[in-house]
């Protein structure tokens, strides 16, 4: 399927860029396990899912704000800034959608051994956590950059 091939292409890039190759994802979660043996991997996946949804809501609101600002922008500099901001928010939203993927890797790609499956789950959770943190920082910067853009827009009137 086309979507699976996109994830298969994108995931190795994200993993190699965002997660250190010498990190052991399962070791990370073994350190976090507490006495009641709560499954920290699934807790993180649920938490990242909820937080990513909230951040996507913020991005949607920013699309509306940018749309209102762009509706009657006459200044070419302002148009360029608004277009770049739109593109950056679209990129952030695309990456965040990766954090909402229901199962992570396609089920037919899962190994047969339960220990290996656990490693795949841990790697997926750490990848989503890393993607979320990076996108959160990007969105924070983009939102802060919107303040001077609004100022330029107000001065343009």
pLDDT tens digits for range 17-36: 777 656 676 766 665 554 34
Sign of torsion over alpha carbons 2, 57, 46, 48:
positive
Residue 136 lies in a domain: yes
The per-residue pLDDT of the chain, averaged, comes to 81
Q: Is residue 138 part of a domain?
A: yes
Structural domains of the chain, count: 1
What angle do helix axes 76-99 and 40-71 make, rounded to 10 degrees? Answer: 160
Is 101 within the bounds of a domain?
yes
User: Which one is predicted more confidently, 15 or 47?
Assistant: 47
pTM: 0.73
pLDDT of residue 67: 92
- Is residue 13 one of the residues assigned to a domain? no
Going by C-alpha positions, the residue among 117, 112, 100 that lies closest to residue 7 is 100
The confidence score (pLDDT) of residue 143 equals: 93
pLDDT at 99 over 60: yes
Q: What does the pLDDT look like over 105-116, one tens digit per residue?
A: 555 566 667 777
Residue 118 located in a structural domain: yes
The answer to whether residue 18 is domain-embedded is no
Q: Is residue 16 part of a domain?
A: no
Query: Which residue range is the domain that position 149 belongs to?
Result: 38-156
Q: How far is 95 from 153, CA to CA, in rounded Å?
A: 29
1 domain residue, yes or no: no
């Amino acid at each position: 399927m086309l979507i699976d091939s996109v994830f298969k292409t994108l995931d190795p890039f994200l993993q190699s860029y965002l997660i250190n190759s010498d990190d052991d994802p399962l070791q990370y979660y073994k350190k976090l396990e507490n006495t009641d043996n709560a499954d920290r991997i699934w807790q993180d996946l649920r938490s990242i899912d909820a937080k990513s949804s909230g951040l996507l809501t913020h991005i949607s609101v920013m699309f509306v704000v940018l749309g209102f600002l762009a509706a009657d922008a006459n200044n070419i500099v302002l148009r360029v800034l608004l277009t770049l901001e739109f593109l950056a928010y679209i990129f952030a939203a695309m990456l965040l959608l990766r954090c909402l993927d229901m199962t992570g890797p396609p089920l037919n790609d899962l190994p047969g051994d339960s220990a290996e499956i656990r490693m795949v789950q841990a790697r997926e959770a750490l990848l989503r956590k890393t993607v979320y943190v990076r996108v959160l920082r990007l969105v924070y910067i983009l939102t802060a950059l919107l303040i001077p853009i609004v100022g330029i827009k107000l001065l343009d009137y």
